[in-house]
Structure 1
Amino acid sequence: MKKTLLVLDLDETLLYATKEKLIQQEDFVVGAYNVYVRPNLDYFLSRVAQDFKLAIWSSADDAYVEELVGKIKPVAVDFEFIWGRSRTTKKRKSVTDEYYYVKRLSKVKRKGFLLESTLIIDDTAEKSMLNYGNAIQIAEFTGNANDDELLLLASYLEKFKNVENVRQIDKRNWRNQERSS
């Protein structure tokens, strides 16, 4: 059976980049941003890389994304692709006249990946709203050193290892299901 593809968001999912300094020491600095890596990131990436194909897709600037991924990627982990804002679709909220970026999995499909075997992990529902059956929304990471979201997610993803169609599994309230098991 083919491995499922995990498409991972970057900002507020795997790390937190801010111009403000937090109480704890930043993990590294990129430009004007202090970057805080989500706790257990190395463990998470190394663990899920054993059973899944991995990719990064952020709505941030492409060069910024490449630089960040270069700093957080474990040596033994490879990514199928690393995409930034240029691969997203810009949308406008008519009420507030604000713009946001949507990640359309049809672009991943054009790369040869089956949607039945693709999961997208993001902290922002609107960025992956067109991917309902494929999306797992995780809690936003804003630098909390005690965050355990990636440990929970790694455990939850175990149920997708040998699934023929990931879209058939209800992902709502996944966190509560995982904490109670």
Structure 2
Amino acid sequence: MKETLLVLDLDETLLYATKDKLIQQEDFVVGQYYVYVRPNLAYFLSEMAGDFKLAIWSSADDIYVHELVDKIKPAAVDFEFIWGRSRTTKKRMSVTDEYYYVKRLSKVKRKGFLLERTLIIDDTAEKSMLNYGNAIQIAEFTGNANDDELLLLASYLKKFKNVDNVRRIDKRYWKNQDMSR
């Protein structure tokens, strides 16, 4: 039974969108952005959909997020929800006076999901900093065609499919953990 929810970020996690064309051919174009899909994305989403409930949560514009998801979603994969910036909380860094968007899992909880059974995958620690026990930070994707991060992550996530409380597992150095435990 798929009880654990994987909340996945988009930009620099599942894909890379840039106004500047890279050396390799883009996978598609959305608006003024050339979009490069992270290698093994379709495999990753299909594999994870077999063991987990999936959701997308990006700090990008809501319409943009839906356009991207329409392009990358395998036919057999369903998402519990697809959220954009309107579901984030805007925060200000007092030192630099810059703004960033935080994903508060309390909003996911209000949707009926247990935080003990929710993982959030993002390349940016600040966006999920309030979700320490739920967060898995992966390497930023900037279009490298040889990237294998999603293959490594898929293997690592298998250990969570029957865990009652994902918050009890230290995920900080997930790439260095023994996958057989």
TM-score (norm 2): 0.97
1:9 maps to a residue whose letter is D
Partner of 1:109: 109
The answer to whether the 8 A contact 1:13-1:138 is kept is yes
Deviation at 1:134, TM superposition (A): 0.2
Cα deviation, residue 2, structure 1? 5.1
Match in the other structure for 2:124: 124
In the other structure, the counterpart of 2:143 is 143
Match of 2:162 in 1: 162
Aligned equivalent of 1:55:
55
Task: Work out the number of aligned pairs and report it.
Answer: 181
Measure how far apart 1:177 and its partner are.
1.9
The percent of aligned pairs where both chains have the same amino acid is 88
Q: Are the equivalent residues in 2 in contact too, given 1:152–1:178 (CA < 8 A)? A: no
Match of 1:38 in 2: 38
* Residue 176 of structure 1, CA deviation: 1.9
Distance in 2 between the 1:54 and 1:166 partners?
Answer: 15
- Answering whether residue 25 of structure 2 is matched by residue 25 of structure 1, we say yes
Aligned to 1:13: 13
**3-state SS of paired residue (1:66):** helix
Query: 2:9–2:121: 8 Å Cα contact kept in structure 1?
Result: yes
Distance in 2 of aligned mates of 1:167 and 1:28: 37
User: Structure 1 180/112 Cα, relative in aligned 2: closer, same or farther at 3 Å?
Assistant: closer
Secondary structure of the residue that 2:146 maps to in structure 1?
A: coil
- Aligned equivalents of 1:14 and 1:64: distance in 2? 14
**8 Å contact kept, 2:102–2:128:** yes
SS in 1 for 2:145: coil
- The amino acid across from 2:32 in the alignment is A
Q: Counterparts of 1:85-104 in structure 2 under 5 Å?
A: 85-104=85-104
Deviations 1:1-24 (A, max 9, x none): 652000000000000000001110
**Which aligned runs of 4 or more in structure 1 are off by greater than 4 angstroms?**
178-181
Q: Which amino acid aligns with 1:113?
A: F
1:178 offset after TM fit, Å? 5.4
Q: Deviations over 1:146-179 (max 9, x none)?
A: 0000000000001001000000001011012258
C-alpha distance in 2, partners of 1:89/1:99? Answer: 10
Q: Which runs of 5+ in 1 are unaligned?
A: none
For the structure 1 residues 180 and 50, does the alpha-carbon distance in structure 2 shift closer, same or farther, using more than 3 Å as the test?
closer
**Structure 2 vs 1, CA of residues 180 and 26 (structure 1 numbering), >3 Å: closer, same or farther?**
farther
Distance 1:34 1:5, change over 3 A: same
Q: RMSD of aligned C-alpha atoms?
A: 1.3
Q: In structure 2, list runs of 5 or more residues that go unmatched.
A: none
CA distance in 2, matches of 1:21, 1:152: 27
